[in-house]
Structure 1
Amino acid sequence: MERFMGTWKLTSSDNFDEYMKAVGIGFASRQIANMAKPSLLFSVDDQGFISMKSMTTFKTVEIKFKLDEEFDEITADDRQAKTFMRLVDGKLVQTQSWEGKSTTIEREVQGNKLIATCTMDDVVSVRTYGKDE
């Protein structure tokens, strides 16, 4: 997890609107999300909980979790999901399940970039973040 720690700023986003449509996010919320340029902050507290905080001028959302333990998440678009985070081959894999649906977000550090691949059914969005030094 060490390589994920710190702050990352969104630098590019491909096919995110189509991904949000597939998840079921409404038009107005998608418009706001498409304008937002979030920063992601990863940290660990003294109890070993990992924090992932997504910050925009519109909204800040934080989840705290331990790897391989399911937890309840209220997403940025207010879905109530059961979420599971695990490390697979150096990738942080987040699976959200709600109302019989499921989406996966894989985050991988490549050099000074964090690549987030969001998948819902057959729709894939790739978002790239740069390390904020």
Structure 2
Amino acid sequence: MADFAAGTWTLVDTKNFEEYLKAVGVGMVMRKMAAAIKPTQVIEVTGNSWVIKTLTTLKNTVLEFVLGQEFDEVTGDGRKCKTTFTLEGKKLTQVQKGTPDSVITREWDGDSMIMILSTDDAVCTRTYKRAT
């Protein structure tokens, strides 16, 4: 079981988020609003079933998935994609097939979670700390 991932995670640092949002097609107004907020992620794990809730003052999203099973995702900015999650060690990889394709990884090290969002034209790094 992925106990290392379960819990509440608060954003403490972000690099190139606006550039990533622009690369995936998010408009300027939404990019500015999204870049100004600090999301909290609540992660629940039961076997291969995961729930990731992203909570913000702008919009909340919920991803419910089973590792290795593709599903239809509508991203927080409204993009539609086919998404699959896989777990290798303490690294959760989210592959989004859409326009454009994107890969999001979350990797845990104790009380830190590093989230890397990448597409062909941009890479963003977001650092989260476990909430106490």
**Residue matched to 1:2:** 3
**Residue matched to 1:123:** 122
Structure 1 unpaired stretches of 5+? none
Query: Structure 1 runs of 4+ off > 3 angstroms?
Result: none
**Residue matched to 1:39:** 40
Shift of 1:122: 4.1
Aligned partners of 1:82 and 1:9: how far apart in 2?
27
Aligned partners of 1:104 and 1:48: how far apart in 2?
20
Distance 1:131 1:52, change over 3 A: same
**Residue matched to 2:51:** 51
Q: How does 1:74-85 map to 2 (within 5 A)?
A: 74-85=74-85
Amino acid at match of 1:36: I
Shift of 1:44: 3.2
TM-score, structure 2 normalization: 0.93
Amino acid at match of 1:108: E
Query: Percent identity of the aligned residues?
Result: 37
RMSD: 1.4
TM-score, structure 1 normalization: 0.93
Aligned partners of 1:88 and 1:23: how far apart in 2?
26
**Residue matched to 1:132:** 131
Structure 2 unpaired stretches of 5+? none
